[in-house]
Amino acid sequence: KAGVTQTPRYLIKTRGQQVTLSCSPISGHRSVSWYQQTPGQGLQFLFEYFSETQRNKGNFPGRFSGRQFSNSRSEMNVSTLELGDSALYLCASSGGGSGANVLTFGAGSRLTVL
């Protein structure tokens, strides 16, 4: 059973640019969540999508957005990049039901903003 796949694994951007990250969840999982991991702030929740609808949102500015497609794949976009957006972005998927909400994480996309 394939795990959660994130692409690209590494990328470098400059301030002011935008970036799109992709996440393919485990087959059959309908919920996709995104987290930002930085040395200073640790792991912070960005948002969660379930059946193409944003179900939950963290405290990030509007420059951070996401979407989910009918096949459950998800993308997140960050516009007008800032130096502080440099981070490891982790995607996680789960069955999305009322079970034990066990998240399976991908290896992450490491974004460096210069």
Partner 1 sequence: GNSVTQMEGPVTLSEEAFLTINCTYTATGYPSLFWYVQYPGEGLQLLLKATKADDKGSNKGFEATYRKETTSFHLEKGSVQVSDSAVYFCALSDFLGNEKLTFGTGTRLTIIP
Decide if residue 58 touches partner 1 (CB under 8 A): yes
Q: ∠13-17-21 over CA atoms, to 5°?
A: 65
Round to whole Å and give the CA distance between 105 and 74: 13
Question: How many residues bind to partner 1 according to rule CB under 8 A?
Answer: 29
Element (H, E) at 38: strand 31-38
CB of 12 vs partner 1, minimal distance in Å: 18
Decide if residue 100 touches partner 1 (CB under 8 A): yes
Decide if residue 66 touches partner 1 (CB under 8 A): no
Indicate which single residue of 1, 2, 42, 70 sits in contact with partner 1 (rule: CB under 8 A). 42
For the sheet containing 64-68, what is the strand order? Answer: 5-7, 19-24, 74-78, 64-68
Round to whole Å and give the CA distance between 38 and 89: 9
Decide if residue 25 touches partner 1 (CB under 8 A): no
Phi then psi dihedrals of residue 85, to 5 deg: -85, -5
CB of 76 vs partner 1, minimal distance in Å: 15
Query: Could you list the residues that contact partner 1 (CB under 8 A)?
Result: 4, 31, 33, 35, 42-45, 48, 50, 55-56, 58, 90, 92, 94, 96-108
